[in-house]
């Protein structure tokens, strides 16, 4: 990057916050996906004014800018595919206000998701979106990816909680979108256009979220099944019986064994699959729903149902699930995780397809995910240095996405398109919607400054 540009960036944010050392560039060149590109520089912005000034400079100089939260994304969203500048929002990490009378929280984008969840829990409230990465991911990244989480089945995703956004347009103008009132229909719903825009339409500098009262009681349980398809079929049976769990997750045998090797928490390594379920709400209702869910699991071939009776037992259940990706990623040098999502009643067919594809291409795939949302994370354990195996992996990924689309699903339930899935987007949304998306992008970002190479295939490096 030219010295004159670096100098201007230092004037905007201070030289301490402009990084160009090779070790910094490498650290900002990857996320939780497996493709890497180094930036030319990093700026750690401290305010909305700085973010606007950086984007105005980028437009003058034709510099590409990639916003970054914690870099836990799983579709390459924060990876600077076209080089240029990484704009790190991590310094902007203040919880500005928790408004108990309006049930709202206002934060800067670099606040860690778990920090907001704990802060509101301390005053008896709940911020429901809880991605598996909750202890690391930022709320800016969550809004940009419209992150889901373990509680999405009952409580929805980030888009269901974001009320208002402040930030900078790709050309560096400050904007405020949305309203903090219960209702607002003042013009286009920009908040829900920006939520899920993967850092391509705006950089967020302030976010206001809706909160809920904390449920009075919770009960967690685990059902063990001889086969993965039996566990998958049970998911629909539970929902059809009128139970709406707060969480309903699935882990296959590969994942159970791998997590047990990693964590040594006494998981049943012989089980074909596990369903992990939590119900929450009023105390009496929780007991009734937990008993009913346990009976349904048993009548759908569960060999055993274990209900957690202490906090420690409950924590063990969720530690097992939250460790799934970290555990699988230890097995081989490369773990490629997908998030194909199907209508809930197609879940059993989707897991059968994944097993068929794993056998066809002789690959090890660990499958876990948000079963209650029909959102599976088949994770292919491989080694990207092995070209022959990677060719089989690519074919398997194509078939997994095709299977999801054939079953009426989507290529991404929650991780976004990034560059990882851009070639599949047109198959799902079709030319009409893709054309609208391109028109919006080029209207807001005429020079293609902000996060190029993401979502659309023809806009890469």
Residues engaged in binding ligand FAD (CB under 6 A): 31-32, 66-74, 77-78, 89, 109, 131-133, 137-138, 140-142, 144-145, 147-149, 198-199, 203-204, 325, 414-415, 451
Query: Does the CA dihedral 306-307-313-315 come out positive or negative?
Result: positive
> How many C-beta neighbours within 10 Å does residue 430 have?
10
What's the angle, vertex CA 259, arms to CA 342 and CA 218, rounded to 5?
A: 70
Q: Which is nearer to ligand FAD, 29 or 141 (by Cβ)?
A: 141
Contact, 208 vs 178, CB < 8 A?
yes
Geometric angle at alpha carbon 128, from 253 and 186, rounded to 5°: 130
Nearest to 75 by CA among 375, 387, 456, 454: 454
Q: In the complex with ligand FAD, which residue's Cβ is closer, 134 or 297? A: 134
* 29 versus 272: smaller Cβ distance to ligand FAD: 29
Shortest distance, CB of residue 337 to ligand FAD, whole angstroms? 8
For residue 362, the minimal CB distance to ligand FAD (Å) is: 26
CB atoms within 10 A of CB 428: 17
- Rounded to 5°, the CA angle 290-294-300 comes to 145
Using a 10 angstrom Cβ sphere, with 0-12 exposed, 13-18 middle and 19 or more buried, the burial of residue 414 is: buried
- Closest approach of ligand FAD to the CB of residue 429, in Å: 18
Question: What does the alpha-carbon distance between residue 98 and residue 197 come to, in Å, rounded to a whole number?
Answer: 26
Q: How far is the CB of 52 from ligand FAD (least distance, A)?
A: 13
Q: Report in angstroms how near the CB of residue 336 gets to ligand FAD at its nearest.
A: 13
Residue ranges of E strands in 216-319: 217-225, 247-252, 273-281, 304-307
Shortest distance (Å) from residue 313 CB to ligand FAD: 22
Q: How far apart are CA 84 and CA 142, in angstroms?
A: 23
**Of the two residues 245 and 272, which places its CB atom closer to ligand FAD in the complex?**
245
Q: Which is nearer to ligand FAD, 169 or 306 (CB)?
A: 169
Comparing CB distances to ligand FAD, the nearer of 77 and 409 is: 77
User: Considering the complex, what minimum distance in angstroms separates the CB of residue 134 from ligand FAD?
Assistant: 8
How many CB atoms sit inside 10 A of residue 305's CB? 18
Is the distance from CB of 97 to CB of 209 less than 8 angstroms?
A: no
> Residue 141 or 378: which CB sits closer to ligand FAD?
141
**Cα(411)–Cα(456) distance, rounded to whole angstroms?**
14
Radius of gyration from C-alpha coordinates of the chain = 22
- Nearest to ligand FAD of 226, 448 (CB atom): 448
Could you tell me the smallest distance in angstroms from the CB atom of residue 141 to ligand FAD?
2
């Amino acid at each position: 990057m030219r010295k004159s540009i670096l100098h201007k960036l230092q004037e905007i944010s201070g030289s301490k916050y402009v990084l160009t050392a090779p070790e910094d560039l490498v650290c900002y060149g990857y996320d939780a996906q497996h493709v890497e590109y180094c930036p030319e520089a990093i700026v750690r912005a401290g305010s909305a004014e700085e973010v606007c000034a950086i984007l105005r400079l980028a437009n003058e100089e034709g510099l590409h800018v990639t916003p970054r939260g914690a870099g836990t994304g799983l579709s390459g969203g924060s990876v600077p595919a076209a080089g240029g500048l990484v704009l790190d929002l991590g310094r902007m990490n203040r919880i500005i206000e928790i408004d108990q009378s309006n049930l709202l929280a206002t934060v800067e984008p670099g606040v860690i998701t778990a920090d907001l969840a704990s802060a509101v829990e301390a005053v008896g409230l709940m911020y429901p979106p809880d991605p598996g990465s909750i202890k690391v991911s930022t709320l800016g990244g969550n809004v940009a990816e419209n992150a889901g989480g373990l509680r999405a089945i009952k409580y929805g995703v980030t888009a269901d909680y974001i009320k208002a956004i402040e930030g900078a347009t790709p050309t560096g103008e400050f904007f405020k979108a949305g309203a903090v009132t219960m209702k607002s229909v003042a013009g286009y719903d920009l908040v829900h256009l920006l939520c899920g825009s993967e850092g391509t339409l705006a950089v967020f500098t302030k976010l206001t979220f809706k909160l809920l009262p904390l449920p009075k009681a919770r009960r967690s349980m685990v059902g063990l099944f001889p086969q993965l398809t039996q566990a998958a079929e049970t998911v629909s049976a539970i929902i059809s019986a009128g139970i709406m769990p707060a969480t309903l997750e699935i882990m296959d045998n590969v994942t159970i064994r791998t997590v047990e090797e990693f964590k040594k928490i006494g998981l049943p390594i012989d089980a074909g699959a596990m369903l992990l379920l939590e119900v929450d709400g009023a105390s009496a209702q929780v007991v009734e729903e937990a008993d009913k869910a346990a009976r349904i699991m048993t009548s759908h071939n569960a060999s055993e149902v274990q209900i957690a009776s202490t906090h420690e037992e409950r924590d063990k259940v969720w530690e097992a699930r939250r460790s799934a990706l970290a555990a699988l990623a230890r097995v081989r040098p490369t773990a490629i995780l997908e998030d194909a999502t199907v209508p809930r009643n197609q879940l059993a067919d989707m897991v059968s397809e994944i097993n068929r594809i794993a056998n066809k291409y002789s690959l090890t795939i660990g499958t876990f995910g948000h079963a209650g949302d029909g959102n599976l994370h088949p994770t292919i354990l491989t080694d990207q240095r092995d070209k022959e195996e990677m060719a089989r992996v690519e074919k398997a990924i194509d078939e997994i996405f095709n299977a999801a689309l054939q079953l009426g699903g989507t290529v991404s339930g929650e991780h976004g398109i990034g560059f990882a899935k851009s070639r599949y987007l047109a198959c799902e949304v079709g030319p009409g919607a893709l054309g609208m998306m391109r028109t919006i992008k080029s209207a807001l970002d005429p020079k293609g400054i902000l996060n190029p190479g993401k979502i659309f295939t023809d806009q890469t490096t």
